[in-house]
Structure 1
Amino acid sequence: MQSNLIQSKVMTVEEVFTGRQYRLDTYQREFTWGRSDVRRLIDDLRKKFSANWRLEHDRTRVARYQPYFLGPYVYHEEDRTTYLVDGQQRITTLHLMLIYLRELLRAQDLEDEAGRLTSLIKSRKYGRSVHTLDIPDRSVFLEEVFAEKGFSLPDDAPGALRKLWEASCVFQEEFPEELRGDALPYFVDWLLEGVCLVGIQAGTSEQGWEIYESMNDRGVRLGPIDLLKSFLLSKIDKAPDGADKVWRRTVSELAAVDVNAPSDFLKTFLIARFARIPTSDGSSSTDVEKISGPFHTWVKENASALGLIRSSDHRALIDELEIYANHYRTLAAAARAYVPDLASVFFNAYNGMSIQTAPVLAAVHPHDSLATCKAKAKLVADYLDLVLVRRLVNDLPCSPADLDQEAVRLVGLLRGGLDVSRLREVLAEEIARLPYDFDAMKTYGLRSNNSRQVRYLLARLTGFVESSCSRSDEMGAYLDGRRPFEIEHIWANRFERYQPRRRSARSSTPTATAWARCSC
């Protein structure tokens, strides 16, 4: 076989990271994945693994779990170094995941298991220890994260390093609770041996550039958004012109918010308006999972149930999409930047709720004004925030997946365009049914895996006190992970010891009030 021919091979995650030293080719872009991209990868892996794993399984059973395909990546080799041409976003994120999983294994005293990951994370080359992703700009960051020292992001950190730090924070703060305990060694086995990629090896750097161009500039496959557009427009009579312009305007305005916003909106809209929601008696539906994937296929398969029968039905859906997209953009902006009127929308996004907008859109009527939409959004977001905080203090699962499940449950209750008064009544009834309150706050404390949650609660308490004292609302700054706030003191754990003491006639001891370290 000629040495310059393009070759491909299916490789497990373990094979991808074994005995290699990766660097970026000159034309590769830097790491750009945001929190939502990392969450999506984690959640996809969690769902696939959880569909197979059972506590009673022997670990050898993992070999029969369904595999998961993470897509292709392109590389070429030169001087014993593997240069990534395409796919570094996934491989970088997997590298960070291996570092975090090693930390979890060590916390469970599974040192042999952790050592297996160490050999994938780092290797020795010519007498020195190097990370498998040997990228100079990341070396200090990776060393400190690997050593579990914690990393302080410099104020002048470049964008790529900031993205890397944010991705690492997602693992530290939002990794699913269900994968941390008994399931952890099983999950690691499955990740290393059951998750695979196709490695496409170019013969030369020039050939790698040609593949990169071909995959990113020419012949790009249509995604779910374009396929849904084609399906809807193909069913509309050509006489009433303008549907295509409405679609393009809607998608373009969403894309201006975020590159993933058009796709996220369409999924949220379909869940809010049409998906069959699992019921409380245990029956379930796969609609939400199918919509979270290739949603255009779900629409085509359920066209009749969605009322898509005549040409006018398809056109009406496109017009409705534009109306709801306008509301979605308002909520997306509030999720990204703190706005006091929609504070809980920001709080929920901070805590990883990716589907909080679905119950809002379920409660919104197409004829609602922007003010009415905001009023409904505030009620729904406040409810979800209250559920989160109560779950936190009761040490109940609070992963983004758990919170999204509650948001999806609300969708079934709120559909139909409830007016604001009725929406408030429904949510008040749901609050009254919650089986947990704030009694557990008396014993709530700091643990190894809830520092971010404790910091969140202390920030909220601080912000509330300051706002109540007519000081400025600083919640946006307190929850900005790039800012160096370290809130360690909030209330004495033996408050009665630190009450102001009156000056005795015989004593010169001044009145004093002390703050002690919080019991958590």
Structure 2
Amino acid sequence: MDISPDKQNIDKVFSNTTYYIDFYQRQYKWTKEPVLRLLEDVYHRFSEEYKRHGNTSNDLEKEISKYAWYYLNTYVTNKIDNKLYVVDGQQRLTTLTLILIYLHHQAGEYKSVLQNWLSNKIIGQSGFSTTFWMNHEAHLSTLKALYDKSAPLDKVDVSSGITARNLVANYEEIEKWLRPRLENQHKFELFTLYFLRRLVLINLEVAQTDVPMVFEVINDRGVRLKPYEILKGKLLGQLDKEELDRLELNELWEDQVGKINDFWEDAIDEFFFYYLRSKLANTIGEAKKYGQDDYHRVMFEDGADRYFKLSHNPKGVTEFLLKDFQYFTNLFARLLEYTTEYNEQQPYVFFNSLNEIDSQFLLLMSSCSRNDPEEAAKIKEVSYQTDRLFCMLQLQRSYDSNTWAQATFRISARIREQPLASIRPAFEDELRELLSTNRGAPADNLFSYGLFKETGIELNRRFKRYFFARIDGFIADNTNVNMKHNYQDLVLKTGSVNGFHIEHILSYNRPNQALFGNDEEVFERERNRLGGLLLLKGKDNISSNNESYTKKLKSYANTLYWNETLREDAYKSKKDFQHMMSTYGLKFQPLPAFGPDELEERHKLLFDIASIIWK
């Protein structure tokens, strides 16, 4: 490996070298905190020397020679076709440039002879053209506006992006911080000499073949690189600049990463987390190798590299970026859209998100191959089967988070890039196996009333709300009416006034206990079954908490459809409701009284509806 270290002060760093921003480097993302930390470090060292050596000498050059030098950090460069690219360190170099611009302006205010020197540390001139040493090519107009002071800071054009916005914001912070500390010309000039002569960086110039490895190891002290930023460097670092420009691969990467990160900060890490597992992991043990923090390394190791073929393979990298990466990031973005808002064409992705079933992303990407012609159908089938498997296990008291995770990877391995027809059998075989294990006997029937019979209050709260939301959605869909509340509110809104809560139809009181032979244990068990529960809005739940059933029945008017089916007026002149009952053979009827028989009747009715929803 060829690395050439070179110790340089700021005067030398910014003298006659134009630094191009390599594709490895992110946008200028330093914000107030790392900028002020750098200023505080530098100024603290300067202040200590200033106190030690006094400040009375008129020979500032001689005085500054007594100050100890201070090491700032290392920056890494790579020369290609006589252009010097910054591989690592542009956050710090850009911030130093902003400090120089401020010092240049303050030199003008003091009419200091150092102003021209400072100007030469920011820009160089050849003929009629000038070049900023830190050559942010896409944001030169912003740099020029800061240098020329051609507009107030709040009027500087920052439309070129986040780099431009941070350039202006950080310049403003630098000005506010330094101005009161450099309160006279003598101190200002001494600080400027210290800044240019005594601050030292180490430049490491590396050969092109070594850039990806060096880039991964060396990070800016201020803001650490994210795994996907390191991965970008390791991938694009294998390609020559001409191909990068011709195929616009850097732009492709940025567009696709931005598309995912628009959903939340660093969402792209989650993409790689599920994507790698979907294609490589058949068990939980194998999945542990593909975490969100180290996928940028694992992708180049033997197991993953046999699939991706990215290690020391420029052709493979180009193909991966143009094909697999582009397709699967687009797919993931679509899936994220389906989780954020109910979509009639893909409702089950949204339903799974309500139950926090993020493993659906693994299963969905596992089932799809690049440019999959069955993509839409697979999304619908996999998300439906995921919802069905989860609900069937919950409703039959057979769900366990560990066995669920294990089952997910077994299904993923079986449906990986397989035809649509293979998806349902894979899920059903897994459901049958899990139910058989739970029963201790072969499960011929995938939804058994024997297992459903006692199901109720032990389900987690979110799932109970989800279950009754789906029941209400079923009634709405089959009676041609709109839901009174959307799924998201029914499942996720839990406030005391406008949130939704589980309500016991049978209040805890002596008359109701008498209906169950005054056996408190039997009463508690029975009233907690799903047939004895409802979903009510917060204020309705509170108001009916300890009422008799007759009074509660009145409070169920104008609430959810399932609640209203207890009341006689829910059946008057409701042709669509009657049609639903006859179509599915559902035995709805009003219940003016509510005891053991009525509770069992409602529980069986829920079983019948669930059998239709998750058929």
TM-score by length of 2: 0.41
Q: Which has the larger radius of gyration?
A: 2
More helix by share: 2
Higher relative contact order, structure no. (Cα contacts within 8 Å, ≥ 6 residues apart): 1
TM-score (norm 1): 0.49
